[in-house]
Structure 1
Amino acid sequence: MLAWFLDPTHWSGPDGVPVLLVQHLTYSVLALLIACLIAMPIGLYVGHTRKGVVVIAGLANALRSLPSLGLIVLLVILFGPVFASDLAFIVPSLIVLVLLAVPPIMTGTYAGIAAVDPAAVDAARGMGHRPLGILFGVELPCALPLIFSGLRGATLQIVSTATIAAYVSLGGLGRLIIDGRAQNDYYQMAAGAVLVGLLALGVDLLIGIVSRLSVSPGLTRRLVRARS
């Protein structure tokens, strides 16, 4: 496997590692952004109003149980007659990745808002803040630790599962695994798995740094005291 990594032909051209890495990140970032646009407003609304808790819990469990590989094949069959371009494969791949990412983001956002100290909410209400002001000025900043936790979980799922895009003839690091399996090149398969793992660890570290910079130090100290 080390020889595979040291071979310069694997790092250049349209099938080189840098190109596959950019493709993998593109699918992952697009899916994560779409999932955030769907899941965060739902989590904020349910956490703030306490309406629909049972619905989002059931929805999250249902989405987690979907078989990713079978679903992407089914969607490709359905979208094939609709799109004449690579969209017939890209759209199904993004749908599957979004469905995987929605549950952790939605539940993390809801749990974060629901866990905010009621005293802080009452104080803001007593100062004359309107519901939206309380949500975005008090509840959302206090909920950031759990929101980032859900975001990290969703990102790791997306990055690791984006390899299935190669199963339907798209790019990404999964191409190394799929093509390696077809050619019985186990060193290439192992290299692809290692690259996906390193990418997941790198993205997780990046989100951890952003979380550390975004969350109020007072909240961090409070969480540490609560755990101890």
Structure 2
Amino acid sequence: MNWSGWLNTFFTAPARQSGPDAIGHRIAEHLVFCGEALFWSALLAVPLGLLIGYTGRGVFAVTALTGVARALPTLGLVTLAVLLAGVGDTAVLVPLIALAAPPLLVAAAEGVRGTDPDVRDAALGIGLTHAQVLRQVCLPAALPTLLAGLRTATVQTIATATVAAYVGLGGLGRYVVDGLATRDYPATVGGALLVVLLAVAAQLLFALLIRLARPPGARTGRSDRSPKEST
């Protein structure tokens, strides 16, 4: 059977229309895992990244941490989490947070570090506190970079959340893992395709958000200066 036949078999199967193995149900489970992981990752990494970027302290540690986190084996973390906490959401959230937090940490730090120093000094000069400068000046300027980091974290999380199926949990990984175990190739191919489509949809959504977060002049690629001023 060819790929198109497998996909047709997968998407038209009655079990994919309703019930616990329905496509909509599995997508919802997948998104819940991703949403929880991204929430906790942002809660942990973004404030720390903003502080590091503003003070300039700990940048080397952030870079080293990012490299270490990328080298961690996801399935190894899942296995360790199962041994320590048992089968449950924690076994999936631990590796997903370890994967999603570093891009957010780096993006927050680099976004704040990219703020114009003269603008920061001017804000301090008019009486703003450091916390106000960080919140009112640096954070808006860092938003496009922060969204880019969130896009990376989201796409990686969507792809990696399939590991939930290895510990008996739900999500789109159930199609892939169960399909391979039972040689149900339509389910394997269909599940993999759904993961890819979900990741592409996230890419497109964040591309739009990043574009909207940029200043109007940056969106069009044109300078705010008139032609006479540029000459």
Query: Would the TM-score normalized by the shorter structure come out above 0.5?
Result: yes
1:221/1:50 CA distance change after superposition, 3 Å = farther
Give the share of equivalent positions with the same residue, in percent.
41
**Paired position in structure 1 for 2:74:** 68
Deviation at 1:172, TM superposition (A): 0.1
Contact 1:141 1:215 survives alignment (8 Å): no
**Where does residue 124 of structure 1 map in the other structure?**
123
Partners of 2:77 and 2:94 within 8 A in 1: no
Alignment-derived partner of residue 191 in structure 1: 190
TM-score scaled by length of structure 1: 0.90
Residue of structure 1 in register with 2:94 after alignment = 95
SS in 2 for 1:116: coil
Which residue of 2 is the match for residue 149 of structure 1?
148
The alignment partner of 2:88 has SS state of: helix
Task: Say whether residues 1:42 and 2:48 are aligned partners.
Answer: yes
CA shift, 1:216, in A, is 3.2
Report the alpha carbon displacement of residue 195 of structure 1 after superposing the two structures with TM. 0.2
Q: How does 1:169-208 map to 2 (within 5 A)?
A: 169-208=168-207
Cα deviation per residue 1:70-111 (whole Å; 9 max; x = unaligned)? 11012101112xxxxxxx321121011000001100001111
- Who wins on radius of gyration, i.e. which is larger? 2
Q: Distance in 1 between matches of 2:43 and 2:217?
A: 28
Q: Tell me what 1:137 maps to.
A: 136
In the aligned structure 2, how far is the partner of 1:221 from the partner of 1:203?
23
Q: Is the 2:111–2:142 contact (alpha carbons within 8 Å) kept by the matching residues of 1?
A: yes
> How far apart are residue 7 of structure 1 and its match?
2.5
- Unaligned 5+ runs, structure 2: 1-6, 224-231
SS at match of 1:12: coil
Structure 1 residue 208 displacement after superposition? 2.6
Structure 1: gaps (5+ residues): 81-87
TM-score by length of 2: 0.89
